[in-house]
Structure 1
Amino acid sequence: MKVKCTRYRILTRRRGTLNIPNMLTISRFVLIPVYLVIFFNGHIQVAFFILLVAGLTDILDGYIARTRGLITPVGVMLDPLADKSMMITVILSLLISGLIPWQAAAAMFIRDLGMIMGSAFFHFRGKLTVPANVMGKLTTVLYYFAILFIVFHLNFAITYLWFVIGVSFLTSFIYIIQFLVLNRGAKLK
């Protein structure tokens, strides 16, 4: 398994930290309390649209960063952290409101918390971070559909959620393999 990172390293050396993609990523952190206030005031469907806005900023920041050469090490770390923080917030809100079973919430929470802690730990130890890939983005889209089905009370929502949880663990496994390959290659140079 080959992990492409050569171009990523070159781009990160040329760009500053405070740029439009990183500001869009930070906006996702700001949307978390907005989501919570709307959700817990009984406007669950409206809160879902706040989640969609957060998702759109994720797409936009990634697109701008890649097309404009604005990828930074901080952005590579903050982007998945913002995604995981928002997802953990959504998981907890759905659990507290009784819309998802605690077992599903626990599985999602363990996976996302593990990804956050692992990414931050290795980033601050100077390890190379694997940028988001197609599998990670696909998993996020699948989660958005699961949440859509849940907030609109579709019959198959929880079954679909369990399917997405399985996909997310597979994606995490792929990220771990890529991380190991990437950092093993960095040691050899």
Structure 2
Amino acid sequence: MNVPNLLTVFRFVLIPVYLVLFFSELPNRTVWAFGVLLLAGLTDVLDGYLARRHQQVTQLGVMLDPLADKLMMLAVFLSLLVSQMISITAAIAIFIRDLGMISLSAFFHFRGKLTVPANLMGKLTTVLYYIALSLLMFGYPSGSEFLWGVIIFSFITSLIYLLQFKMLNQRTM
């Protein structure tokens, strides 16, 4: 296993660490949990950079990288829902979109279809989610409205991803 894939696996390990910190009784628990979230984001950037720079992009990495991102985001949004920092409607919209993307990616991967690697729109969506999370976790009043804008944008990027997936797999047939 190469270093970029190890960094991706490390992000999976950070998910329970985030949850333990977020729900702990530690002073400044939100700051600590947010720090873990930022570490996950930085390792995401680093693993992508290393994979491209050293020509270590693998099909496993192409599949695991977005899965690690989505599972971390789902864990964070679940923690925000349980803590009543986001509405059930926002959580359902996020869960439907992310679980749908995870399920479809896995379904098509195991059917031998090519997977669309992360693209600029997906990366922008992730950055916008991180901004929304920081606004929500630290109690900024516009956090909920910003989150809804990101949710709408994420559904648009999902449609673009599905179109790219369809075009990619039509060319390879």
Provide the TM-score with structure 1 as the length reference: 0.89
Q: CA RMSD in A?
A: 0.6
Match of 2:85, SS? Answer: coil
Deviation of 1:46 after TM superposition, in Å, equals: 1.4
In 2: Cα distance, 1:163 partner to 1:45 partner: 24
Structure 1 residue runs of 5 or longer lacking an equivalent are: 1-17
* Selected match of 1:163 from 149, 160, 170: 149
Deviation of 1:169 after TM superposition, in Å, equals: 0.3
Deviations 1:145-189 (A, max 9, x none): 0000001100100000000001100000000000000000010xx
Trace 1:133-172 onto structure 2 (pairs within 5 A): 133-172=119-158
In 2: Cα distance, 1:171 partner to 1:37 partner: 31
- Stretch of structure 1 that moved more, 44-53 or 125-134: 44-53
- The AA in structure 2 aligned to 1:168 is S
- The AA in structure 2 aligned to 1:155 is P
In 1: Cα distance, 2:137 partner to 2:85 partner: 8
Report whether the alignment pairs 1:130 with 2:113: no
- The AA in structure 1 aligned to 2:75 is T
Report whether the alignment pairs 1:30 with 2:13: yes
In 1: Cα distance, 2:68 partner to 2:121 partner: 17
1:103 match: 89
Residue identity (%): 61
Moved beyond 6 Å, runs of 4+: none
1:51 match: 37
Deviation of 1:76 after TM superposition, in Å, equals: 0.3
- The AA in structure 1 aligned to 2:13 is V
In 1: Cα distance, 2:158 partner to 2:74 partner: 16
Match of 2:172, SS? Answer: helix
Deviation of 1:27 after TM superposition, in Å, equals: 0.3
1:65 match: 51
Provide the TM-score with structure 2 as the length reference: 0.97
Match of 1:127, SS? Answer: coil
Higher relative contact order (CA closer than 8 Å, sequence separation 6+): 1
Deviation of 1:45 after TM superposition, in Å, equals: 2.3
- The AA in structure 2 aligned to 1:73 is Q
Trace 1:174-189 onto structure 2 (pairs within 5 A): 174-187=160-173
In 2: Cα distance, 1:120 partner to 1:48 partner: 29
- The AA in structure 2 aligned to 1:157 is G
Structure 2 residue runs of 5 or longer lacking an equivalent are: none
